[in-house]
Amino acid sequence: MPVSNEALCHKSYINIGHKPAMIKRALVIIDLINDYLDRWDTNRAARLVSNANKLANAFRWLGLPVIWVRQEFRPDLSDAFLEMRDNDIKIAPPC
C-alpha cells in the first residue's frame, strides 16, 4: 500500500516487506563535555557545541525529542571500563 505525500510530510516511514512501518526520530547527543572537548582546538570545539545546540533547537522546534547523555563513573572507577580502572583515567568528575 503506497504512503500518501501528505503522510510523508508528517511522519517518517521505512519499508518492511511490502508494508510501510513508521519510525520515530530523536536526536541523541552523547558525552559533549568539557573534559573531552578540552583536548580539541578551541575553534573546532566551539563549532561543535554551536552546531549541536542549533540541531537541538531545530529538533525541539519540530516537536522531536532531544536526549542528552553523559556517562559518569564512581570516584573510585569501580564501575568504569577496565582500561580506565587500570590507567586511572577519570574523564568526568563525579556529581
Q: Write down the domain spans for the chain.
A: 26-87
**pLDDT value for 16:** 56
Euclidean distance between CA atoms 5 and 81, whole angstroms: 47
Task: Note whether 26 and 36 are within 8 A (CB).
Answer: no
More confident residue, 4 or 40: 40
Cell of 89: 583515567
**Three-state SS at 81:** coil
Q: What percent of the chain has pLDDT over 70?
A: 67
- Note the pTM of the prediction, 2 decimals: 0.58
Residue range 50-56: average pLDDT?
93
